[in-house]
Amino acid sequence: MTIQKAANESSLTLSLEGRLDATAAPELEKALKEDLHGVSELTLDFENLDYISSAGLRVLLSAQKIMGKQGSMKLQHVKESILDIFEVTGFSDILTIE
């Protein structure tokens, strides 16, 4: 998986490409740990993300909890297959998906 970062004052966009699985999840977690300070708007662009495993889901939930305290988080361009996973796990109830 690759992560492209675009920061603009208090906004941060992370564009993910590839597979967010147990191998890649620590990389996203590290990027979030490094870059979330002072961010009030976090956007995760999933246009080129093909797969998410439960290790990725857990990182999303942690990020959602942090951003719930310091601002907002949204997901963009989520593929149907990933939306299905969000649906069966209840992530669609708690994430903001555009």
Partner 1 sequence: MDLYARIDLHMHSSVSDGTDSPAELLDRVREAGLGLFALTDHDAVKGCRSIRALLREGDPAFLTGAEFSCRDEGGKYHILGYGYDPDSASMRRLVEFGHGLRIKKVRARLDFLKETFGFSFPEEELRRLFALDNPGKPHIANLMVRFGYAGSKEQAIQQFINRIRLRSEYIRPEQAIRSILDGGGIPVLAHPSYGDGDQLILGDEMDARIRRLMGLGLQGLEGFYSGFTPRLRREILSFAGRYGLYVTAGSDYHGKNKLVVLGDTGLADAAELPEGLLRFLKAVEDKQT
Which residues form the interface with partner 1 (CB under 8 A)?
21-24, 26-27, 29-30, 32-33, 53-55, 57-59, 61-63, 65-66, 85, 88-91, 93-94
Shortest Å distance, C-beta 26 to partner 1: 6
Q: Which is nearer to partner 1, 9 or 69 (CB)?
A: 69
Beta strands across the sheet bearing 41-52: 2-8, 11-20, 41-52, 72-76
Q: What's the rounded Cα separation, in Å, for the pair 42 and 67? A: 7
Shortest Å distance, C-beta 89 to partner 1: 6
Residue 40 neighbours by CB distance under 10 Å? 14
Task: Give per-residue burial for 54-63: e unless 16+ CB within 10 Å, then b.
Answer: ebbbebbeeb
Shortest Å distance, C-beta 2 to partner 1: 11
Q: Which is nearer to partner 1, 45 or 56 (CB)?
A: 56
Q: Which is nearer to partner 1, 58 or 77 (CB)?
A: 58
